[in-house]
A and B are shown apart, each in its own frame.
Chain A
């Protein structure tokens, strides 16, 4: 019998890294949107710190040599970079599978045609809401954003580029979930990611305004499960639940520095996009070292590989090779120490306290958002 094995889950983590499969290239932290759950760090890079086109070309050449197969162009908004089309082409020529992760507000027919011609394999557009333009634009912090996204998505499908809709869900838009699913179908997307906000960085600052109630989450899960059955062969749906309501922590990134890394706009190599938030770790830069050296020898990448760094209760836990103690960034953000068990785990001594607080926040009716911006963000105007 023929069989296709999916590599998205793996059994063991190792102190000696295997070859990385995929890389997220944060081309820039600049973005026309100001989403209150942005996955960029609170300390945003400036344009003047960004890698040059030549830097990126060299990095792209090094990626296949160390085993990387897929390159995700992300940001900020990657289309702010004037050299994006050139770099997509360069990556394709290097044999990499290329994906563009974009807000799409800067995409027009000309740009879409250029990207398609450059060999782009796939596009992912984030949506902040369904058809309620004003509400979606309020979350994005940019008037007109939603209509621009719809138009860009149409251009992408007309150019016959494959599309994933990324629906970012939270308490203030979960009631729009059925419409978000319809939207993905109507746009001709082949795939929909229903991604509950993960509460790090900007999202953690906005947790009280965004975290869903348990009832909301359970309803959303039912809706997604029904849609997966109904839309088989039409739309593939991937579902990311907020780990605050799980009993077990998520297997974050397949393990720290196991088969994925992130390159920040200024060239730092991180195990994930949030890791810069862990103070005390010094990440190495592609400006100073070849990627092959960084992947094997960077002290920050080696810090949480394998299981030897673990403390109790992870150290002796039967799940330690399965979930690897959860997410280091979340452990740091919520307990102050990255070596601690991720409080998403029911075995963490901090679990009850932290998630009781989050559940309390979810039942309040706070709506005011802290938009991402340099200098700690900007509060939404009241009224």
Chain B
């Protein structure tokens, strides 16, 4: 069956509309995550993650090394568990490193900053690999807590 040029153009138009709608749902509304570069996932437990969001950057010394993949709540301890997808080429991060939730600017987006720890095989430290958990973490600075500490005195 032969089609006229108009029909082909209309077909392309409608296809473009459908593709754009799908892109809008996936990319803009964030229905599904699409990560294609190879990463490994490391967990970290925090007391309070503040307003950390999925896909927030993970940085060492300000350099982007990965993104937050998933934020979950541990059912037993009721503490937030952050799954961090770190790019595979950064594979020499010591397991003694510290992950803290920092804020870009005063009211900016929150991100995870990793302070590298020492690496010494004799003391049993290893490089981080898939499925490891960072023990040393620093929670998010919550402005309301700071203000109440300042106003009513620290009770810790």
Do A and B belong to a common assembly?
Answer: no
Residues of B at under 8 Å CB distance from A?
none
Residue numbers of A with Cβ under 8 A of B are none
